[in-house]
Amino acid sequence: MKKLIGFALVVVMMSCKDEPSLQKYFVKSGEKKDFMAMDISSSILNVNESKLSDSEKKALASFDKVNVLAFKKDDKNNAQYSKEVKEVKEILKDTTFQPLIKLNGVGHNASIMLVGDDKEIDELILFGNQKDLGFTVIRVLGNDMKPENAMQFFSILQKSNIDMEQLKPILNFVNKK
């Protein structure tokens, strides 16, 4: 019996790996001074659903929330900025994240990745950084998100009346000197 309990403890300990993940990074970084973390619910879109097509309604129903994490760079945190960008890029190298689009320019870049497959998206990740300003990581989370419904979101955005009040904390953070 003691051997069985010992074996079970070893299995539990091994399964509790402390590998970095994007979710853990959001939680850890959201508490730091140079970061701003925010959850935005689907209610931000403020859409009159009666004016949506069936496919738009289905796409909207699959959208749950957006997690935003922003790091604001200034003259005093160059070393931290470099360390944090490196950490995010290491996390996003994991094969869990499938790259969709990558844009590179002088001093700035952006990428869009997904978690899931060509039938169902579990998570959409947007990562952008600009050496002078900082970086932002956005996680779009939902239920039964389908790749073919992605274009429906653009249509929904055009019909939405975005609740800017929900965005005030992040806009104030970005504009703060």
Q: Residue 107, class by beta-carbon neighbours within 10 Å (0-12 exposed, 13-18 middle, 19+ buried)?
A: exposed
Specify the pTM: 0.78
Q: Residue 58, class by beta-carbon neighbours within 10 Å (0-12 exposed, 13-18 middle, 19+ buried)?
A: middle
Taking only the tens place, the pLDDT of each residue in 95-128 is 999 998 899 888 889 998 989 887 888 888 999 9
Cβ–Cβ < 8 Å for 72, 85: no
Enumerate the domain spans of the chain.
19-175
Max CA-CA distance within the chain?
65
